[in-house]
């Protein structure tokens, strides 16, 4: 057996060698779940990044030297998990750290994945820009865990930035919207994941503040064959609205369907992780039509103006389809990263971090905004959406 | 020297010097940082090998013991909790908790027949995941506990950026585990285990305390799995999340033991290299290669990761068909299979 | 809802879900009874059956298809497919291993299960309308509602009892009854019981054990096929990862009832259905513990009755 090993090893080395590359190169990587039901959303995200790089002509001049821009689209999910996989995320982070050409790590999609990757990237001084993480604790002190966000920051240094507003805002506008719709009592569910549980707690907190009765607060098992027993419980509670802090991958579709099939009149409200086409595929149009309410950070494509509209038009032209909800954030992330690289003036990780931290009044597709001291965007626009005829339809601006 | 010895020696040399030799290589060629997971899984595989290989008890819950180790370690070391006893004490605690968990599960269930025991361990794996997920106050639910400390050795602190210290620490721990397992196998206890595996009834008739032998094997195996879990958590800086330690992971560990050869220590090492190496080296490099050449993974067939289980599955089936004793089988298992073949020639 | 209604509702939901589990459990228990193999791939076989069902419905026009045409078609084609697949897998992967240690065949079954899951993932990428054009291979799929969700007790009733519940009972109960009859009364059934009891003696009595085992795989596969049709009609969804959860529930049901024992598997399925319904529908926040309770019950039952609820006393070799 041992004698058979060397050829195999040689083949492996050959494979690795062909992956090697020349100097004068700056690499951007993204780490997003490319397997599982988030994939449609993340394909659109990756398209957004590619568009930004294509607009720069695939090259960038930093401090007078012209560099080729290499973009690597990494998957942080595994098919068996069906969503992001911590081991893969860690491996991605380490891969990026160990490749000196990598200047920025664009990601992650899931906040749970960010928690895993943030500290190693921070220790390595590699900037991380997320187009989609919404867990408040990643950046803001006092709203997440007791040791957050300090536990992600080696010596308090901020290397993590996000262009999307955090969940404390989303839970608040969701509860506000529920009250405006006249719901006197709500049943709050969550999928026990970091994101879902976090946002469900925010929603509950704000609902109670607004005087909306919380009839129940329960975790669910997203892989259950159906939620019929749970629906019975919800019907008994007489709740007028069901809020699910969860995602399309953790049972949103099945929940919408079971609620509808059991003849429950209460509408289903969910956070931005509902805002993707996989929801339609999983629930069927009938169960969603005017019955599902989705809060989303930022405006849907057709409501965009100015540079935002220019992005939507360019996206349509390049990919012959509509951008998904987060695509514009991915585009904005890549754009702001390129701006920071140019501003940094040298191919150096620390300089890039400093340039990002000093990014003020950036005029981009999302409007004019800055990174604050925590690495958060100063932007806070939210929209409320529903489903009409199998498409997401804008209902109103929230939180203004 | 025989060719086999030369091969073994050069393999050993390669393993010892890999981090040093890599300094000379360009970036795309470096694979050393991907080796520590292989070594951790080799330790876990050796633990399961005591249970399945030596003693013949089918355990489908090794991931649960890994989870118990990872979480026990994280609870006593993570700044979220008041203990913070550091890496080394944490590793000891995790191993002890793992052994205890093995004992607690083993006591009521080890008298069950083989397949019933298998389902009980499988169920135990599900229970552990749920408990860890739901005991939010202690385990932080699906967030996982973090940050979990890396080891410090004589004042030197390990980091995730530099893999070489990890490499040698794990190599030493793995060496220790191999030494332990090899000696156990040759000891009186080891022979008792094999007797139980070969014929429980006959073993009992010969005056062997069968339940005690099984319990010892079970909790030793659990302890090694837990130690592996603790190392895994430390390497990643987080307990990860309960859902990570699922049935699939148990199966991967089982496959490490079976592909290499049930009961065979070199077999387990080779099994870990193949199973984990395929996952973390071959697939990663292949995906990278495709990404660099602009093949995007929108199409489900285009991502090599999506073929993983097909390849795993095929390998297992072919292996069972043509090399049921594993790639580097233990001598007595090989002989036994040969005998079984001879006894029922029409079965093929 | 009055307490009576709560209990009745729990029974309806629990039984309806439990009978589907029981149907899958029968396939496990039959195969185990006869060759002592835990057929790990059984749940995933059922999953592939669900994908075939969705493909067929998609070909018949999806939502618009006539249920009177489609349901009989599904009930014929899907069990036939699953039976054939199960038989083929047995010939290729398990049959050559009959004389090998039990663990060998078990590992082979795990391998088959992996392959099935992977095939399910690829199947989800089929460029068809019902698969969302194949762009979301791994996502959960919606199965068109062919039966409707009208409450048979009227919209004002606090109790939900729909045609779907009727369908589950109408398909599973007669099937289980005829299976029991088949195993007790027919020649092949008697041969199966003989092989289960002692393969060598059965062979000496002139029974073609190979044929009997093949027949068992055919029947077990067909049952999984029926289970998948009932599952998708009742739950209206499928995904490539569903085989594991369903297979595990079914396997637990089989062991709970006493593996190898047909009525035991049905009893086990119903117990699990009811336990889950109670946890998820009555106990506050019980859904998150329902898995743990199911397996807790299993471990408890086995600790006191090591061969399950209806299993015979162990016949260990002497």
- What confidence tens digit (pLDDT) does each residue in A51-79 have? 999 999 989 999 888 999 999 988 887 65
Closest of C249, B239, C305 to residue A223, by C-alpha: C249
C77 by Cβ neighbours in 10 Å (0-12 / 13-18 / 19+) ranks as middle
User: Does residue C312 lie within any of the structural domains?
Assistant: no
- Interchain proximity C149–A286, CB inside 8 Å: no
**How far apart, in whole angstroms, are the C-alpha atoms of residue B80 and residue B84?**
9
**How far apart, in whole angstroms, are the C-alpha atoms of residue B336 and residue B242?**
39
Domains held by chain B: number:
1
Range(s) of the domain holding residue B282:
33-347
CATH of the domain at B134: 1.10.3470
Lowest mean pLDDT among A378-382, A387-391, C44-48: A378-382
Nearest CB neighbour to A112, from listed B142, B284, B327: B142
Range(s) of the domain holding residue C285:
3-124+163-304
Q: Answer yes or no: are the C-beta atoms of B309 and C115 closer than 8 Å.
A: yes
- Which comes out higher in pLDDT, residue A345 or A84? A345
Q: Answer yes or no: are the C-beta atoms of C124 and C238 closer than 8 Å.
A: no
User: Dihedral of CA B79/B82/B87/B93: which sign?
Assistant: negative
pLDDT for C6: 87
Nearest CB neighbour to C100, from listed B251, B314, B340: B340
**How far apart, in whole angstroms, are the C-alpha atoms of residue B8 and residue A1?**
11
| H-type alpha helices, chain A | 5-18, 39-55, 86-97, 111-123, 167-180, 194-209, 228-237, 252-261, 277-283, 285-288, 306-319, 327-344, 349-357
- Interchain proximity B344–C32, CB inside 8 Å: no
User: What stretch of H or E contains A128?
Assistant: strand A127-130
Spans in chain B with pLDDT lower than 70: 1, 27-30, 160-161, 280, 284, 287-288, 291-300, 305, 332-334, 336-348
User: Does residue C195 lie within any of the structural domains?
Assistant: yes
pLDDT for C304: 86
B206 shares contact with chain A (CB less than 8 Å): no
Q: Which residues pair with A104 in a beta bridge?
A: A28, A127
- Interchain proximity B305–A12, CB inside 8 Å: no
Nearest CB neighbour to A225, from listed C17, C281, C284: C17
- Smallest CA–CA distance, residue B70 to chain A, in Å, is 14
CATH of the domain at C71: 1.10.3470
Closest of A221, A82, B304 to residue C240, by C-alpha: A82
Cα angle for residues B115, B116, B121 (degrees, 5° grid): 95
Q: Answer yes or no: are the C-beta atoms of C38 and B115 closer than 8 Å.
A: yes
- Interchain proximity A253–C13, CB inside 8 Å: no
**CB contacts, 8 Å: C108 with chain B:** 316-317, 320-321
C112 shares contact with chain B (CB less than 8 Å): yes
Question: Which residues 141-160 in chain A show a CB within 8 A of chain B?
Answer: 145-147, 151
The single residue listed with the structure tokens 């089929």 is C126
User: Does residue C240 lie within any of the structural domains?
Assistant: yes
B154 by Cβ neighbours in 10 Å (0-12 / 13-18 / 19+) ranks as exposed
Q: Answer yes or no: are the C-beta atoms of A102 and A58 closer than 8 Å.
A: no
Neighbours of B171 (CB within 10 A): 17
The residue-averaged pLDDT of A272-285 equals 84
Question: Which residues 223-252 in chain C show a CB within 8 A of chain B?
Answer: 244, 248, 251-252
| H-type alpha helices, chain B | 3-22, 35-48, 62-77, 87-109, 114-134, 136-139, 164-186, 188-198, 200-205, 210-236, 247-260, 265-277, 283-292, 308-322, 331-343
Chosen for mutation from B297, B308, B329 (greatest number of chain A CBs closer than 10 Å) is B297
User: Does residue C172 lie within any of the structural domains?
Assistant: yes
pLDDT for B96: 98
C295 shares contact with chain B (CB less than 8 Å): yes
The proportion of chain A whose per-residue pLDDT surpasses 70, expressed as a percent, equals 91
Closest of C22, C221, C25, C240 to residue C114, by C-alpha: C240
Q: Answer yes or no: are the C-beta atoms of C257 and C267 closer than 8 Å.
A: yes
For C11-28, write each residue's pLDDT tens digit.
Answer: 999 999 999 999 999 989
User: Does residue C206 lie within any of the structural domains?
Assistant: yes
- Smallest CA–CA distance, residue C218 to chain B, in Å, is 20
Mutual angle of helices B247-260 and B308-322, in 10-degree steps = 40
pLDDT for B333: 66
B324 shares contact with chain C (CB less than 8 Å): yes
- Interchain proximity C108–B316, CB inside 8 Å: yes
**How far apart, in whole angstroms, are the C-alpha atoms of residue C140 and residue C130?**
11
Q: What are phi and psi of A190, to 5 degrees?
A: -145, 160
A21 shares contact with chain B (CB less than 8 Å): yes
pLDDT for A12: 47
pLDDT for B29: 67
Q: Answer yes or no: are the C-beta atoms of C293 and C279 closer than 8 Å.
A: yes
**CB contacts, 8 Å: A262 with chain C:** 149, 160
pLDDT for A84: 78
**How far apart, in whole angstroms, are the C-alpha atoms of residue B121 and residue B254?**
13
Whether the per-residue pLDDT at A312 is higher than 60: the answer is: yes
User: What stretch of H or E contains C291?
Assistant: helix C290-304
Q: Answer yes or no: are the C-beta atoms of A327 and A47 closer than 8 Å.
A: yes
Nearest CB neighbour to A94, from listed B31, B134, B160: B160
Contact partners for chain C, using 3 or more CB pairs closer than 8 A, are A, B
Q: Answer yes or no: are the C-beta atoms of A222 and A191 closer than 8 Å.
A: yes
- Interchain proximity C140–A227, CB inside 8 Å: no
User: Does residue B11 lie within any of the structural domains?
Assistant: no
Question: Which residues 10-69 in chain C show a CB within 8 A of chain B?
Answer: 32, 36, 38
User: Does residue B16 lie within any of the structural domains?
Assistant: no
User: Does residue B12 lie within any of the structural domains?
Assistant: no
pLDDT for A23: 55
**How far apart, in whole angstroms, are the C-alpha atoms of residue B152 and residue B165?**
10
pLDDT for A17: 44
Q: Which residues pair with A189 in a beta bridge?
A: A218, A244
User: Does residue C64 lie within any of the structural domains?
Assistant: yes
For C38-91, write each residue's pLDDT tens digit.
Answer: 898 999 999 999 999 999 999 998 888 888 999 999 999 999 999 999 999 999
Instruction: Tell me the two tokens of residue A175.
Output: 């509860």
Nearest CB neighbour to B300, from listed C117, C122, C251: C122
Distance of CA C177 to the CA centre of its chain: 16
User: Does residue B5 lie within any of the structural domains?
Assistant: no
A70: which residues sit within 8 A by CB, 6+ positions away? A21, A25, A26, A27, A28, A101, B292
Q: What are phi and psi of A28, to 5 degrees?
A: -110, 135
- Which comes out higher in pLDDT, residue C149 or C97? C97
User: Does residue B270 lie within any of the structural domains?
Assistant: yes
CA distances for B163 relative to A120, B78, B269, angstroms: 12, 22, 20
Question: Which residues 160-199 in chain B show a CB within 8 A of chain A?
Answer: 160-161, 163
User: Does residue C145 lie within any of the structural domains?
Assistant: no
Chosen for mutation from C7, C168, C280, C292 (greatest number of chain A CBs closer than 10 Å) is C280
Nearest CB neighbour to C281, from listed A225, A229, A253: A229
B313 shares contact with chain A (CB less than 8 Å): no
- Interchain proximity C245–A280, CB inside 8 Å: no
Question: Which residues 337-376 in chain A show a CB within 8 A of chain B?
Answer: none
Chosen for mutation from B51, B317, B332 (greatest number of chain C CBs closer than 10 Å) is B317
A380 by Cβ neighbours in 10 Å (0-12 / 13-18 / 19+) ranks as middle
Tell me the domains of chain A and their CATH numbers.
24-165+305-369 (3.40.50.2300), 167-297+382-398 (3.40.50.2300)
Chain A residue nearest residue C140, CA to CA: A282
Q: For strands A391-398 and A382-388, give the pairing.
A: antiparallel
Closest of B210, B216, B73 to residue B147, by C-alpha: B73
Closest of A367, A129, B241, A123 to residue A139, by C-alpha: A129
A212 shares contact with chain B (CB less than 8 Å): no
Nearest CB neighbour to C115, from listed B114, B254, B314: B314
- Interchain proximity C108–B321, CB inside 8 Å: yes
- Interchain proximity A73–B287, CB inside 8 Å: no
Domains held by chain C: number:
1
B269-276's contacts with Cβ under 8 Å and 24+ in sequence apart are B269/B42, B269/B45, B269/B178, B270/A1, B270/B327, B270/B328, B271/B45, B271/B326, B271/B327, B272/B38, B272/B39, B272/B41, B272/B42, B272/B45, B273/B38, B273/B42, B274/B327, B275/B41, B275/B312, B276/B37, B276/B38, B276/B41, B276/B252
The proportion of chain C whose per-residue pLDDT surpasses 90, expressed as a percent, equals 63
User: Does residue B7 lie within any of the structural domains?
Assistant: no
How many Cβ pairs within 8 Å bridge chains A and C?
Answer: 141
User: Does residue B149 lie within any of the structural domains?
Assistant: yes
């Amino acid at each position: 057996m041992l004698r058979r090993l060397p050829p195999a090893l040689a083949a492996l080395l050959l494979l690795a060698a062909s992956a090697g590359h020349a100097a004068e190169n700056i690499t951007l990587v993204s780490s997003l779940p490319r397997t599982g039901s988030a994939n449609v959303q993340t394909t659109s995200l990756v398209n957004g990044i590619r568009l930004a790089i294509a607009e720069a002509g695939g090259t960038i001049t930093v401090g007078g030297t012209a560099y080729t821009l290499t973009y690597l689209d990494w998957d942080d999910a595994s098919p068996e998990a069906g969503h992001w996989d911590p081991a893969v995320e860690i491996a991605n982070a380490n891969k990026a750290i160990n490749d000196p050409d990598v200047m920025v790590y664009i990601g992650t999609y899931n906040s749970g994945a960010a928690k895993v990757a943030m500290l190693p990237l921070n220790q390595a001084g590699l900037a991380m820009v997320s187009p989609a993480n919404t867990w408040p604790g990643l950046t803001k002190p006092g709203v997440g865990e007791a040791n957050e966000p300090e536990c992600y920051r080696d010596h308090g240094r901020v290397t993590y930035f996000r262009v999307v507003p955090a969940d404390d805002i989303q839970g608040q506008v969701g509860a506000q919207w529920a009250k405006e719709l006249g719901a006197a009592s709500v049943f709050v569910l969550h999928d026990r994941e970091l994101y879902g549980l976090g946002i469900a707690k925010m929603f509950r907190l704000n609902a109670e503040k607004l005087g909306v009765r919380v009839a129940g607060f329960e975790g669910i098992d997203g892989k259950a064959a159906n939620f019929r027993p749970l629906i019975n419980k919800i019907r008994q509670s007489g709740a007028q609205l069901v809020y699910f802090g969860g995602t399309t991958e953790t049972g949103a579709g099945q929940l919408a369907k079971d609620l509808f099939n059991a003849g429950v009149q209460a509408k289903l409200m969910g956070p931005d992780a509902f805002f993707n086409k996989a929801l339609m595929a999983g629930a069927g149009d009938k169960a969603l039509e005017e019955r599902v309410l989705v809060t989303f950070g930022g405006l849907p494509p057709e409501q965009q103006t100015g540079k935002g509209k220019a992005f939507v038009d360019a996206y349509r032209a390049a990919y012959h389809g509509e951008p998904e909800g987060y695509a514009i954030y991915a585009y904005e992330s890549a754009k702001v990263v390129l701006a920071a690289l140019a501003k940094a003036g040298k191919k150096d990780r620390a300089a890039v971090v400093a340039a990002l931290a000093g990014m003020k009044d950036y005029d981009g597709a999302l409007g004019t905004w800055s990174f604050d001291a925590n690495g958060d965007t100063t932007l806070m626009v939210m929209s409320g959406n529903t489903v009409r005829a199998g498409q997401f339809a804008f209902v109103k601006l929230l939180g203004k | 020297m025989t060719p086999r010895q030369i091969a073994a020696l050069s393999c050993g040399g390669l393993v010892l010097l890999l981090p040093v030799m890599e300094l000379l290589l360009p970036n795309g060629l470096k694979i050393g940082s991907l080796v520590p997971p292989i070594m951790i899984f080799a330790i876990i595989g050796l633990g399961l090998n005591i249970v399945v290989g030596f003693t013949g008890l089918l355990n489908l819950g090794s991931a649960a013991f890994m989870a118990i180790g990872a979480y026990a370690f994280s609870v006593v070391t993570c700044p979220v909790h008041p203990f913070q006893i550091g890496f080394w004490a944490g590793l000891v605690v995790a191993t002890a908790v793992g052994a205890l968990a093995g004992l607690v599960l083993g006591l009521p269930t080890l008298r069950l027949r083989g397949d019933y025991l298998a389902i009980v361990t499988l169920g135990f794996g599900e229970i552990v995941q749920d408990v860890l997920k739901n005991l939010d106050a202690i385990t932080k639910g699906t967030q996982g506990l973090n940050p979990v400390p890396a080891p410090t050795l004589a004042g030197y602190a390990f980091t995730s950026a530099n893999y070489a210290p990890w490499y040698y620490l794990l190599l030493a721990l793995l060496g220790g585990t191999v030494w332990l397992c090899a000696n156990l196998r040759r000891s009186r206890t080891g022979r008792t285990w094999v007797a139980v595996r070969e014929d429980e009834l006959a073993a009992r008739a010969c005056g062997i305390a069968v339940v005690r032998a099984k319990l010892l094997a079970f909790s030793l195996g659990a302890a090694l799995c837990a130690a592996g879990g603790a190392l895994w958590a430390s390497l990643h800086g987080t307990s990860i999340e309960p859902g990570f330690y699922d049935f699939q992971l148990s199966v991967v560990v089982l496959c490490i033991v079976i592909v290499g050869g049930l009961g065979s220590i070199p077999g387990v090492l080779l099994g870990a290299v193949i199973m984990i190496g395929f996952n973390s080296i071959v697939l990663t490099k292949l995906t990278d290669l495709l990404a660099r050449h602009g093949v995007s993974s929108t199409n489900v067939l285009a991502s090599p990761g999506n073929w993983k289980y097909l390849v795993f599955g095929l390998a297992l089936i072919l292996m069972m068909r043509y090399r049921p004793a594993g790639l580097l089988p233990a001598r007595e298992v090989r002989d036994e299979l040969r005998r079984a073949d001879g006894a029922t020639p029409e079965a093929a | 809802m009055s307490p009576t209604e709560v209990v009745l509702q729990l029974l309806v939901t629990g039984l309806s879900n439990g009978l589907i589990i029981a149907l899958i459990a029968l396939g496990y228990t039959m195969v185990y009874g006869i060759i002592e193999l835990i057929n790990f791939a059984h749940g995933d076989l059922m999953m592939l059956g669900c994908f075939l069902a969705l493909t067929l419905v998609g070909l018949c026009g999806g939502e618009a298809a006539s249920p009177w045409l489609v349901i009989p078609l599904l009930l014929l084609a899907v069990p036939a497919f699953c039976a054939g697949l199960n038989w083929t897998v047995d010939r290729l992967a398990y049959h050559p291993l009959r004389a090998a240690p039990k663990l060998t065949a078990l590992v082979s079954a795990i391998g088959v299960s992996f392959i099935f899951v992977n095939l399910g993932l690829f199947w989800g990428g089929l460029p068809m309308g019902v698969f969302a054009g194949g762009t979301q291979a791994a996502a959960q799929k919606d199965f068109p509602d062919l039966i409707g969700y009208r409450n048979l007790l009227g919209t004002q009733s606090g109790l939900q009892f729909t045609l779907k519940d009727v369908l589950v009972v109408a398909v599973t109960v007669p099937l289980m009854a005829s299976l029991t009859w088949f195993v007790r009364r027919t020649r092949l059934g008697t041969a199966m019981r003989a092989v289960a009891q002692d393969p060598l003696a059965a062979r000496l009595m002139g029974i073609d054990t190979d044929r009997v085992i093949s027949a068992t795989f055919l029947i077990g596969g067909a049952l999984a096929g029926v289970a998948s049709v009932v599952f998708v009609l009742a739950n209206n969804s499928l995904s490539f990862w569903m085989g594991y959860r369903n297979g595990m529930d079914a396997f637990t049901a089989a062991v709970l009832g006493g593996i190898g024992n047909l009525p035991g598997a049905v009893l086990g399925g119903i117990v699990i259905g009811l336990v889950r319904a109670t946890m998820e529908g009555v106990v506050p926040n019980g859904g998150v513990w329902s898995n743990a309770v199911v397996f807790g019950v299993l471990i408890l039952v086995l600790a006191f009755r090591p061969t399950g609820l209806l299993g015979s006393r162990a016949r260990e070799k002497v």
